Structure 1
Amino acid sequence: MTEEAAILTPRSKRAAQKKSGVWSWIRFVLVLGLAMLVLHNIAGIMKVSGHSMNPTLHNGNILLINKLSLFFGTPKYGDIVIVDDDRLGYSIVKRVIAVEGDRVSIKDGITYVNDVPLVELYTYGKAEDMAEQVIGMDELFVAGDNREPGASLDSRDPDLGPVHMSDVKGYALVSLFPLHKLSKPLKL
């Protein structure tokens, strides 16, 4: 018998297998950690709390969130975004009504952006009138689809006002539970 063959006793085989098993677990944990890091920064899941987005979203809906798109562009009209404002202490789900440089007002329950009335078939209720606001640089005007007075904390409320782009944490892609698409504004 050679010296190498003598070294591979049953005891040393078990030790080699343990070492291989430990490295397998370390690789598994590292790959899992990397996958979680990537998924946390690319996608997310959020549960809707409240009725501010009725009739599009309802209390208890589970949303799939797209975070990756924030690296490649800015929200556009009609997008449903997740806003995490430090003043609130929690996240809100709202629809983008206007972007930087736009003028927004509400007259007789109709929302105007740059003096053009929005066709909003996805809303519920009649909003209170609001004097014209000009949206600042890197800001968005967001509103809930439920426009009944007091039903939604959004940019119409002076306590919140327009939100800064850095407070947008992602886009709502689809409602996973119950499963349905999210309505978008009509293109005229």
Structure 2
Amino acid sequence: MRIIMGEGDTMPSIAENSTNKTKIKKKFLGLVQYVIFLIVFYIIFSFGIGIVQVSGYSMEPSLKDGSYLLTNKLASHITKASYGDVVVVKENHQQFYIVKRVIGVPGDTISISGGKVYVNNLAIPELYAMGIPNDMDPIIVPEDHIFVMGDNRTPGESLDSRDPTVGPIPNTSVKGYPILSLFPFYKIAGPLDL
């Protein structure tokens, strides 16, 4: 229903005003929901999960070059890395992230002799590793650090804690834990008990 004001002029009815206000409220609520969704999405991908691409052969045979890994970033804020964990690390001397396996935690003595890796003088079972590493004199992992190695132990294939320019990695440099490879799809070998 319209009230005629004059020639060609009309005034909106109360029902039309109410309908317009309802449409404006719906648009505003839709915008608010969209902004909240973006904020939640940003928080999840900034602090919760992430995707990292493997570059190189340092983690073969466990991880393949070019694989896209779904990574749990939240766990790096809650827990500390332990034996056998695969971790994404921001190495201080590099401008990129590296993916490695935790071999030692604070207080451990790590050495390599005859192609075997020893933690506290015990050879560790490494069903996930390939290649024969060079011997390495014992290194004690400092407090709040971890000792990491690539699963490809062939000399020159992995930049890891064996290299004096890298050494043990601070716990604060761990940025996440890969869960699985999204493309190509495969599971990541889990930690072994020592």
- Pick from 102, 107, 118 the counterpart of residue 101 of structure 1: 107
Q: Structure 2: how far apart are the matches of 1:100 and 1:76? A: 10
- Pick from 146, 151, 158 the counterpart of residue 164 of structure 2: 158
Q: Match for residue 78 of structure 1?
A: 84
Structure 1 residue 175: Cα displacement = 1.4
- Aligned residue pairs, count: 185
TM-score by length of 2: 0.87
Structure showing greater radius of gyration is 2
- Pick from 124, 133, 139 the counterpart of residue 127 of structure 1: 133
* Residue range with higher mean Cα deviation, 140-149 or 34-43: 34-43
Q: Structure 1: how far apart are the matches of 2:38 and 2:191? A: 39
Q: Match for residue 29 of structure 2?
A: 23
Question: Equivalent residue of 1:21, what SS?
Answer: helix
Structure 1 residue 8: Cα displacement = 2.8
Question: Is it true that 1:136 corresponds to 2:142 in the alignment?
Answer: yes
Q: What per-residue deviation string (whole Å, max 9, x for no partner) do you get for residues 128-153 of structure 1?
A: 11110000000000000011111000
Question: Equivalent residue of 2:33, what SS?
Answer: helix
Structure 1 residue 26: Cα displacement = 2.5
Percent of matched pairs sharing the same residue: 41
RMSD (CA atoms): 2.1
Structure 1 residue 185: Cα displacement = 4.5
* Residue range with higher mean Cα deviation, 9-18 or 170-179: 9-18
Q: Structure 2: how far apart are the matches of 1:36 and 1:8? A: 42
* Residue range with higher mean Cα deviation, 93-102 or 62-71: 62-71
Q: Match for residue 177 of structure 1?
A: 183
